[in-house]
């Protein structure tokens, strides 16, 4: 069985790492170059002790439409060389969509890790991508029964399996190593971790101002690892000085996976627009409340189980809920809805059943 694994962004590398290890050399890894910044790409192959990609594509820094077209074209050449039995994509990036379309048009079965996520928010580019990928995939590996229900309701043609989420496997694999190897020096543990990177948030000046004002007005210690896209917008909207001059906010550059695991584990709670963090925070090795600064979430299971709370992007609402959470950040004792860290084994066994 030959499996071509397509990746191009930091979250994909993290979530596919356990699968790459579980496949034990029966895969060819293709990196699209969507995250061209070293700190968002190659750094994670090295950090997670993964072999470097077998193929690295070079794509331009243009619009998503141009990037998707370039990736499809270049993957065609790669697939002709690899001749894979199946292609594996993860999540909802432009890389995943391009990989799925290329495989489909070349007659190669596509499998989708983390299928069935839905925000029902058409403003999100990720929503466009994930729906298309799900409808052209042969095997759909859903993280939860809720995701499976979404797929059934949409009458996808592929076979659906509930496998849990491979991000739980990654935490299980790497948490102890993270505690040893993280180079971050955060002296206090009474801080809130804050991250924000989604286009619908950081590309909107009013939203950025609302969220940052709420963060500042809580007057609590905040650690803010800033995404390159977010940093660019902070400068553009003349907001960066407001953050750097605030003594309660510790601004960090792009951090590695071990660092973010350490920050999540040591924080009081988390304020974020990240989907992955909503999943990771449910791990028994982390277990932190996440306040989701979005109007919708594609991880409703986390909300239902009390791990997350959608707080929107209004300053007053965010401020109110943060102050409430500071008083009582503890979680009720519930299991993660995203599995027990065995997802990769389940997925590989299914691949062998269908493609060996």
Residues designated catalytic:
197
Return the C-alpha torsion angle 157, 158, 160, 163, nearest 10. -150
CA distance 327 to 324: 5
What tokens appear for 273 in the block? 């627009």
What tokens appear for 68 in the block? 């998707």
Return the closest-CA partner of residue 31 out of 74, 81, 62: 74
Our measurement of the distance from residue 63's CA atom to the centroid of its chain's CA atoms, rounded to an integer in Å, reads: 21
Count the Cβ atoms, other than its own, within 10 Å of residue 25.
8
Return the closest-CA partner of residue 208 out of 246, 251, 243: 243
Checking DSSP bridges between strand 249-252 and strand 222-225, what pairing results, if any? parallel
Buried b (16+ CB within 10 A) or exposed e, 161-176: ebbbbbbbbbbbbbbe
Count the Cβ atoms, other than its own, within 10 Å of residue 210.
21
Helix (H, G, I), strand (E, B) or coil at 15: helix
Return the closest-CA partner of residue 118 out of 104, 134, 106, 103: 134
What tokens appear for 219 in the block? 């007057």
Any residues with CB less than 8 A from the CB of 217 and at least 6 apart, and which?
315, 319
Look at phi and psi of residue 12 and say left if phi exceeds 0, alpha if psi is from -120 to 50, else beta: alpha
Intra-chain end-to-end CA distance of the chain, in Å:
5
Residue 123 · residue 296 · CB < 8 Å:
no
């Amino acid at each position: 069985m030959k499996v071509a694994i397509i990746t191009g962004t930091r979250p994909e590398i993290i979530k596919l790492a356990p699968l790459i290890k579980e496949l034990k050399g029966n895969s060819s890894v293709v990196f699209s170059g969507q995250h061209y910044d070293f700190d968002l790409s190659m750094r994670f192959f090295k950090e997670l002790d993964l072999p470097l990609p077998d193929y690295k594509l070079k794509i331009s820094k243009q619009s998503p439409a141009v990037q998707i077209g370039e990736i499809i074209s270049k993957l065609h050449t790669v697939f002709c060389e690899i001749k894979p039995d199946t292609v594996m994509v993860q999540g909802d990036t432009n890389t995943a969509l391009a990989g799925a379309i290329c495989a489909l048009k070349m007659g190669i079965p596509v499998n989708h890790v983390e299928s069935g996520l839905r925000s029902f928010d058409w403003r999100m580019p990720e929503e466009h991508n994930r729906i298309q990928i799900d409808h052209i995939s042969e095997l759909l590996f859903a993280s939860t029964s809720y995701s499976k229900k979404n797929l059934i309701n949409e009458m996808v043609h592929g076979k659906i399996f509930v496998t849990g989420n491979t991000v739980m496997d990654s935490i299980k694999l790497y948490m102890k190593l993270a505690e040893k190897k993280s180079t971050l020096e955060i002296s206090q543990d009474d801080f809130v971790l804050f991250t924000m990177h989604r286009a619908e948030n950081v590309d909107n000046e009013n939203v950025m101002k609302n969220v940052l004002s709420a963060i500042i007005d809580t007057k609590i210690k905040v650690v803010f690892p800033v995404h390159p896209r977010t940093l660019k917008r902070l400068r553009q909207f003349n907001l960066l000085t407001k953050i750097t001059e605030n003594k309660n906010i510790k601004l960090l550059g792009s951090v590695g996976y071990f660092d973010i695991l350490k920050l999540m584990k040591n924080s009081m709670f988390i304020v974020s627009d990240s989907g992955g963090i909503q999943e990771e925070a449910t791990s028994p090795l982390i277990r932190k409340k996440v306040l989701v600064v979005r109007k919708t979430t594609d991880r409703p299971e986390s909300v239902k189980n009390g791990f997350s709370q959608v707080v929107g992007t209004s300053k007053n609402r965010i401020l109110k809920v943060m102050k409430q959470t500071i008083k009582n950040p503890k979680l009720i004792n519930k299991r993660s809805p995203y599995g027990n860290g065995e997802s990769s084994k389940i997925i590989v066994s299914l691949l062998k059943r269908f493609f060996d």
